[in-house]
Amino acid sequence: MPDQPLAIEVSHLVKTYAGVTAVADISFTVARGEIIGFLGPNGAGKSTTMRILTGYLPATSGSVRICGLSVAHQPDEIKRKIGYMPENNPLPEDMRVSEYLYFRGRLKEVSRRKLGPRIDEVLELCDLKRVRHKIIGQLSKGYRQRVGIAEAILAEPPVIIMDEPTIGLDPHQILIVRDLIASLRGRMTVIISSHILPEIEMTCDRVLIINQGRVVAQGTPTDLRREVLGGSHYQLEVAGDLTSLPAHLALVEPTLTVTAQTEPDAAGFRSVSLSTDRVDELGEPLLRALLAQNLRVRSLSRVHSTLEDVFLAATRRSWDAVAAPKPAAK
């Protein structure tokens, strides 16, 4: 057995529906115990990819292996290894929470003896103890969502796939779900998709940005920032003669350039945006250089780009890539 066994291997996955390509040649791997986030605009192919991973939908071409087993050839074994919560979290309306979990546990082949204590444990984990005898149809969105999550982790599968688990939850409940997912780290491999970017950034080890059925960027949030946005950015508030500023900046770091500059305010300060290819901290040499020029500096800060910027940049880049070859082909 290799040192770093892969939980999920997806290679050249393609799915077309009636001529529309939902997933176009996606490849990625997920290591055991990793938490990975799928990001992408609506209709990017996130849900379709997840459904193929669970074996619910067949792929048009390409292969998916989960824990070394092929989804297409051993669908029954695959289904024992996956806990899946679909988009919109469909639940039967007229069952009680504990009844539903018992039924699902039996379907997932948890033995009767183990199922009772396991249900208690899962109810505790998801903070559902108070509603265990309530009818699911009468529960609020937050509770329903947690019933879905409880159901996904019920049989302790090695791989958990959740399609938008935090949709419709209030901040407090999001916190609970985030802690819950984080508590699975190392024990289970988790794939979640979400629109809430800070959510993904906080819980996931790695992010996969999907657009138009393609993986447009992948890596840790830090890697993605560097790869997609390139270098680092600084924000400066400075007063004085700025005509020689670019030349002095070049002395500090050759790639340091002024990207934007505002008109001076009442006190004569302008705010200046700088960008550089370097990723390490340049604040101190920059400040020294500025003060040596007798410029008055009111503030200097490094811009911390959010995953949102990365996401927007990566998806825009992929739109451009898709749009670009078309005129060339004509």
| Residues of the shown chain interacting with other proteins in the complex, contacts defined by CB under 8 A | 17-18, 51, 54-58, 76, 79-80, 82, 84-86, 88, 90-95, 103-104, 106-109, 151
Q: CA-to-CA distance for 270 and 276, rounded, in angstroms? A: 20
Question: Which is closer to other proteins, CB of 81 or CB of 206?
Answer: 81
d(CA 8, CA 127) in angstroms, rounded, equals 30
Q: Which is nearer to other proteins, 161 or 184 (CB)?
A: 161
- Amino acid (1-letter code) at residue 114: K
Closest separation between CB of residue 47 and other proteins, Å? 10
17 or 43, CB closer to other proteins?
A: 17
In the bound complex, what is the minimum distance in angstroms from residue 25's beta carbon to other proteins? 21
Closest to other proteins by CB, 94 vs 277, is 94
Please tell me the distance from the alpha carbon of residue 296 to that of residue 287, in angstroms, as a whole number: 10
- Report in angstroms how near the CB of residue 135 gets to other proteins at its nearest: 10
Coil, helix or strand for 84?
Answer: strand
Q: How far is the CB of 284 from other proteins (least distance, A)?
A: 55
Beta bridge partners of 132: none
| Cα torsion angle, 180, 186, 190, 192, sign | positive
- What is the secondary structure of 199-252 as a DSSP string? HHHHH-SEEEEEETTEEEEEE-HHHHIIIII-SEEEEEEEES--TTHHHHHHHH
Instruction: State the nearest-atom distance from the C-beta of 81 to other proteins, in Å.
Output: 10
* 265 sits in which H/E element: none
Specify the residue, 103 or 114, whose C-beta has the smaller distance to other proteins: 103
**Enclosing H/E stretch for 302:** strand 296-303
Closest CB 183 distance from other proteins, rounded Å: 23
Whole-number minimum distance, CB 99 to other proteins, in Å? Answer: 8
Measured from the CB atom, the residue of 109 and 320 that comes closer to other proteins is 109
| Centroid of chain to Cα 207 | 4
**Contacts of 124 by beta carbon, 8 Å cutoff, 6+ apart:** none
Q: Cα separation of 112 and 106, whole Å?
A: 7
Nearer CB in complex with other proteins: 54/212: 54
Torsional sign, CA 215, 219, 220, 221 = negative
